[in-house]
Structure formats: C-alpha cells, structure tokens
C-alpha cells in the first residue's frame, strides 16, 4: 500500500455520506467505492492538516469522481 493510502483511508461510508448529500441512492456506494480512485481522494484530503478540511477535500473529490464512475458503470 502506498504512503498516501496509509495516511488517508477512504471508506464505503464516505461514499455513502457523499451520495446522501447529493440526494442519490446510497445503495450504490459499494459499487462506486470499488471504482473510486482512492489515491486522488487521499491527495485531496491531505492538502490540509485540519481534519475537518481534510474530510471536506476528500468528499469534494469523491463527489467529483461519482459522475465519471456512474457514466462508466451505468
């Protein structure tokens, strides 16, 4: 596992939270998580040292990736 992924762990629950905020079906979270570029999420999160800002950065990156993933999957 690379150092970024050790420093920031993205979970299915993170994807569920983002889908919920987007008003989308959280049941899609496991499938979307499997396609998620977790390294890009970690990079976005680790732009800050403040935990709340890290979560915001991670969630913004997850939200950015969701349309691309859904276009490939569905």
Angle at 71 between CA 73 and CA 59, to 5 degrees: 95
Q: What is the pLDDT of residue 4?
A: 79
**DSSP summary character for residue 33:** H
- For the entire predicted model, the pTM comes to 0.94
Give residue 15's pLDDT.
Answer: 99
For residues 53 and 6, what is the distance between their CA atoms, to the nearest angstrom?
18
Query: Which residue, 59, 50, 43, is CA-closest to 8?
Result: 43
Residue 28 has pLDDT above 80, yes or no: yes
pLDDT at 5: 83
Domain boundaries, the chain: 3-73
- The confidence score (pLDDT) of residue 1 equals 65
pLDDT of residue 68: 97
């Amino acid at each position: 596992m690379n150092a970024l992924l050790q420093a920031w762990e993205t979970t299915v629950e993170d994807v569920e939270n983002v889908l919920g905020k987007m008003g989308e079906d959280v049941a899609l979270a496991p499938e979307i998580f499997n396609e998620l570029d977790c390294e890009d999420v970690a990079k976005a999160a680790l732009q800050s040292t403040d935990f709340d800002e890290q979560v915001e950065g991670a969630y913004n990156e997850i939200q950015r990736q969701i349309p691309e993933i859904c276009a490939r999957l569905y």
